[in-house]
Amino acid sequence: MRTAHSHTSQRTELGSVIPLFSRIRHWQDERMGWNQDIIDEFRENGGTVKTGGFGRELILLHHTGARTGIVRVTPVMALRPTAGEWLIAASKAGADENPAWFHNLVANPDTTIEDPDAGTVRVEAEVLHGEDRDRVWRLFEAASEGFAAYQRKTARTIPVLILRRTR
């Protein structure tokens, strides 16, 4: 049986939770808006993104939600060691959790990217481990000092993936 007191207590708890959800939603909307701005700039300028000084270093990563099945697009920095291969890091700017797109690629590794030079490409994602991961991570640190800062911010080992062109 619910008493007036428990009902009031519940309302107070919900009252403090609702503003938190609003702040989180606002942050997500801002983040998605920024991503959408980058996606639009990428597509409007043939893969060149002046915002943030990215130039032609980004790809647009299509990924299918592991739980939802919804296809999303996320801009990510990529290194291109050889034709038909792209390296990406699941840094999430040094957050303590991996980005959603990482979980989505683990669940659904066959996907598509948009590359400034190669256009739309079908790829298969593979998470690198051990020395392979460490060797590629050093390439990211050499490409941008931000990656070393991201690793210092988090206790997790930032995953690195290779995307390989498929037919």
Spans of all domains in the chain: 44-165
Q: Look at residue 32 in the predicted model and tell me its pLDDT.
A: 56
Please tell me the total number of residues recorded for the chain in this structure: 167
- Report, as ranges of residue numbers, the positions in the chain whose pLDDT lies below 50: 1-30
3 state SS of 115:
strand
Q: Look at residue 1 in the predicted model and tell me its pLDDT.
A: 39
Determine the CATH number of domain 44-165. Answer: 2.30.110.10
pTM assigned to the model: 0.80
3 state SS of 90:
coil
Cα angle for residues 46, 50, 51 (degrees, 5° grid):
120
Q: Look at residue 100 in the predicted model and tell me its pLDDT.
A: 95
Q: Look at residue 167 in the predicted model and tell me its pLDDT.
A: 80
Q: Look at residue 15 in the predicted model and tell me its pLDDT.
A: 44
Q: Look at residue 139 in the predicted model and tell me its pLDDT.
A: 96
